[in-house]
Amino acid sequence: MEKAYIILAHKNHNQLKRLIERLDDGTSHFFVHIDKESSMQQHRSVFEAMKNTQLISSVRTEWGNFGLVEATLKAMDAVKNCGKNVERIILLSGQDYPIKSNDYINNFLQSSKHSVFMDHYQLPDYKKWASGGGSYRINKYFFGFSIAAKYRAKTINFLSTYIKVLQRKLRKKMTHYYGSQWWIIDKYTLNYILDFVANNPDYSAFHRNTFAPDELFFQTIVINAKDEKVSASIINNNVRFMKWADNLIAHPEILRQDDFDEIVSSPALFARKFDAEADLKVLEMIDEKCL
């Protein structure tokens, strides 16, 4: 099975190189985006020299901003036009790592009756956010983390409670969904998403002012799809192992040696997140016992 791995990276170039080498089974192609402001930019030549690897033109991918969506869309477009018969597209972070062998991953993806693995939950979700159900993600403006951006958002959000024309809304009525940024899709769904984005510029414009749009953008398109082939392919599971101290915390915990037993007992294909500078041994243990 030919696969395309889209990898969004911003740190630890040696760890990224290790990830690509572990996943390179001869039928995989790698589309790597390195954050525009990352010190990893000085190592671009390392990845340009790696076989089956294409670097995506860099954008700023600050957490919480639209840049993560933009980088993903750029990579998806590169996959579409790469000329390879790719059957699955797998979105990873540079701090992800496989916890199953390449043969296992291939067999799993080929034998599954589903081809889109994507966490998705409808907003508002009062089980996760007791107050408001997380609706602020879609009905409040977000312009960034600078003092000026926060002040601008606070002002317009206040005014929008009194001035209807300022209220946030999609011209194309859709039910909003959120979930993990990391997913697996098939080529048909990739084309469906790219076509939707091209034909609905207001959708991207809306999410440019959304907080953490990478966790809503793709879910909302896919789960709202009227295409029966897309709808029939989805399972609410992104086959990732992550560990959270609290479900309201923005980032998962760094996985370490103490987590190894829990990692290897997981049915997931990939785990995150790892930091080789904090704990290299856990990656070596996974190499030895799993890969």
Question: 46-81, pLDDT tens digit by residue?
Answer: 999 998 999 999 999 999 999 999 999 999 999 999
Over range 193-217, report the average pLDDT. 97
Q: Rounded to an integer, what distance in angstroms lies between the CA atom of residue 53 and that of residue 48?
A: 7
Percent of the chain past pLDDT 70, that is, above it, reads 99
Percent of the chain past pLDDT 90, that is, above it, reads 92
Backbone angles phi, psi at 79, to 5 degrees: -60, -45
Q: Quote the pTM value.
A: 0.95
Q: Domain 3-118+181-241 belongs to what architecture? A: Alpha-Beta Complex (3.90)
Confidence tier at 172 by pLDDT (50, 70, 90): confident
Q: Please, what's the largest Cα pairwise distance for the chain?
A: 61
Over range 122-149, report the average pLDDT. 93
Cβ proximity of 135 and 176 under 8 Å: no
For the chain, percent helix, then strand, then coil, each to nearest 5? 40, 15, 45
At residue 250, the pLDDT reads 72
Is the backbone peptide bond immediately before 252 cis, with ω within 30 degrees of 0?
no
At residue 251, the pLDDT reads 83
Cβ proximity of 92 and 274 under 8 Å: no
Domain boundaries, the chain: 3-118+181-241
Q: At what angle do helices 13-23 and 281-289 cross, to 10 degrees?
A: 10
Distances in Å between the alpha carbon of 254 and those of 42, 43, 260? 25, 24, 12
Reduce the DSSP state of residue 226 to 3 states and report it. Answer: coil
Q: Rounded to an integer, what distance in angstroms lies between the CA atom of residue 61 and that of residue 165?
A: 30
User: Which of the 8 DSSP states describes residue 76?
Assistant: H
At residue 248, the pLDDT reads 63
Dig out the tokens for 106 from the structure. Answer: 């291939």
Is the model's pLDDT at 173 over the cut of 90?
Answer: no
